Chains A and B, each alone.
Chain A
């Protein structure tokens, strides 16, 4: 079942059309990877899914993005609630300069979840969910910035899932990490997809091939091909996709 449906989505930075008529179904509890060369629009598309682009002046959106059948660009949409439902993990780990505990507790406190549930339980469940609990449980008061980069990124994932999102968007989540940390995050993604719908932008085609169920290939603001990952990397339909993933274009 599609969790998110983009329908003829166009996005403009001023006069520049960065996305052209993107239509895509993002399946629930699956990992969808978006690939393509720099500037192809994949990150712009990702940021359309939680309206992060709204904060950039001079931009404009046309078309629809349906989340569980509701258009997130419809007037009256509660953007704060949208971003609770659709969380984001960024390229560089960006923990707050606070303790590990406070980082994860931040969202639940803001949203008032702590009034209904035990905050410590939420923090533990989120850290376990992000496969970080065992490494930090003895010192939850340590400064988040003292963690390794890989741990910091998992902390950001814990922070994202602490507010119980339905979708997690990941924008190059491993590009600042070493190979071992990268594989850990990939393993974590496979576990997370049982509970969450994941969309990942990656420059690393092998990563897309390893981790995702579906892959979309963007080129100059267009979605050239969208297919099951195993088909995309063994027998893509479009010549441009073939050229890109075999390293002959891009």
Chain B
């Protein structure tokens, strides 16, 4: 009985610790969500935590001193004397704070602590991000024209067009390669595998300039095919390594029995290995999709910023404006860009928990 109680207690502690860790982890995202709903001026002036009720100095009465009070001498306010510097920083007097409201007109504001929240919430940021921000231009003859910029809609479809093949192609090629490395015997197998894993190490910047030179001579710059190839190339080492780890753990007897029954390698691959490795395919697929979706560097270099091919990460960076003047739009843009990977993640959830072997090997 005592043992059972101890188990329950430790479970509760573990859950609480996990809950605290999750909360700390989610706090910045929560702040970003709240910020994305605040008007632009609020975002620029105060942090998102001001939305919660907090104590601030609220202005109450104003004390008008006579206009000829000398600031260099101690100033007399309702019987007590303060110096000019004290009034500049705010001085406490019977629970309220005295601070200059208008120094030239010699007005002092009496402030009290009060609970206040800044609850102005608006969806303006989201509208600006999705459909484009309106801005007014003054023409040469003095009249104003209102024009609309572009939003994220086109960039969203571009990114989707890039991300889906750039996920499917590497995962497919890597599964073929992983099966070959795991279960086929051919000369140079080990060296080749070490070589491929060694490619994991290469920072992308190393390969940028040579690949770019080749792309320009081939004419692949700024085209979808070029960036599919680039993402495939940069993603293959990791995906191969991951799939190899998984496929090498499948039981050998399964394939040997299929081999004896006369199945070709391709049959074994498509009918046995692929269905069995669905959890691994789903995990690495999500990983690769997320990487391609969020990617800025490879798209910047290989596909550029033509509006018909520009990706979302680049478009979001452009939303900020040429002088960083609209950075409040980043908050809502971040959330819109987050939706698709989240959707994919939840859609593929069921493939994660599918039973590994599914009862295929008995005994």
Co-assembled chains A and B:
no
Residues of A within 8 A of B (CB): none
Residues of B within 8 A of A (CB): none
